[in-house]
Amino acid sequence: VVEVLYFAKSAEIAGIRSETISVPQEIKALQLWNEIETRHPGLADVRNQVILAVRQEYVELGDQLLLLQSGDEIAIIPPISGG
> For 18-51, how does the pLDDT look when each residue is reduced to its tens digit (9 = 90+)?
999 999 999 999 999 999 999 999 999 999 999 9
DSSP for 21-66, written as a single string: E---SEEEHHHHHHHHHHH-GGGGGGTTT-EEEETTEEE-SSSPEE
State pLDDT tens for residues 56-76.
Answer: 999 999 999 999 999 999 999
Domain containing residue 36: CATH number: 3.10.20.30
Q: pTM of the entire structure?
A: 0.91
**Could you give the number of structural domains in the chain?**
1
Answer whether residue 79 is part of any domain. no
Answer whether residue 30 is part of any domain. yes
Answer whether residue 83 is part of any domain. no
d(CA 14, CA 57): 22
Answer whether residue 20 is part of any domain. yes
Answer whether residue 41 is part of any domain. yes
In 3D, which of 59, 64, 65, 23 has the Cα closest to residue 75? 59
Residue span of the structural domain in which 6 resides: 2-72
Answer whether residue 28 is part of any domain. yes
